Amino acid sequence: MTLRASAAAAVLAATALLGLAPQAASAPVPQPQEATAENRAAAAQAAAAPGTLATLSRFFAREGRVSLTAAQPRIEGEAIPVNHLSPDFVAGRADASVARLEFLASQAVSSDGQRAALWTARTETGWQVVNIATGDDEFRYARLGAAKLPGGTVFREPQIDAWYVAGGGRVLPLDDDAVRAVGAGGTTLAAYRVRVAGAYGDKLPGSPYAERGAAGGFAEGSAAAAPAAAGAADVPWAAGAGALALGALVAAAVRRTRRVGARA
């Protein structure tokens, strides 16, 4: 699995400039279950704040591709929900949805065409930007999912960096990682749950795996070392079901490169 060109240190520096570093030790704040109009508006406001735009200028200028004064970042479009595989679904809880809302994302663009996703989440002091990540994965897969299965739920299985769209009792792949997991034609929702339960059922919050301290955040870099036979990666869940560990989210700075087979 290849990683985005941006270095973790660069993103950590950007998030530190946003004043997020002191929150690393904060208790997780439960996220809303739905991206309501009110939540979207609050996330968009946080993304477009003057302080955020100033940090974006430094972020886009970090590798010398554009000067600090010429970066002129802008926010394009509306904030969108970003869903991840739900641990409740993995655990087989009654009526659990396949995915849960993890954060809202706003797309930032610099004057030279660089793109980044601003991850916004509800914190103790309101909605804030908690991470800046290079590229446009969140928005590109949202478009791909809407085209492939209108009205479906687009979500990511972070343990293997796979994107899907689910609906009508089916789970369809949106990228190469997802194709390797469920096949080019997708699978049934029931069969998908069997697969993820086998892969991650012993790594849920409250499991011995979590109690060893292994399930504290998003250690995406370890996904490449996943045991191929089991399909399980040594990648933990967000700290606590329905909660976002802000410090851990900031640590998940390095992103994937765009996969050729997943382009629109």
Mean residue pLDDT of the chain comes to: 75
- Rounded CA-CA distance 59/110 in Å is 10
Of 19-23, 53-57, 115-119, 210-214, which gets the smallest average pLDDT?
19-23
Q: With pLDDT > 90 as the criterion, what percentage of the chain qualifies?
A: 51
How high is the pLDDT of residue 55?
Answer: 92
Residue 16 has pLDDT above 80, yes or no: no
How high is the pLDDT of residue 212?
Answer: 54
Angle (CA) 256-29-205 rounded to 5° is 70
- Read off the pLDDT band of 65 (50, 70, 90): confident
DSSP category for residue 153? E
pLDDT digits (tens, 9 = 90+) for 219-245: 333 322 222 222 333 334 443 223 333
User: Stretch 150-166: mean pLDDT, rounded?
Assistant: 95
Angle (CA) 99-147-258 rounded to 5° is 75
Residue 261 has pLDDT above 60, yes or no: no
Other CB atoms closer than 10 Å to residue 112's CB: what's the count? 13
pLDDT digits (tens, 9 = 90+) for 133-155: 999 999 999 999 999 999 999 99
* Side-chain-facing half-sphere of 76: CA atoms under 13 Å: 14
- Read off the pLDDT band of 69 (50, 70, 90): confident
Residue 18 has pLDDT above 70, yes or no: no
- Rounded CA-CA distance 237/249 in Å is 11
Long-range CB pairs of 223-227 (<8 Å, 24+ gap) are 223/1, 223/158, 223/159, 223/160, 223/161, 224/1, 226/159, 226/160
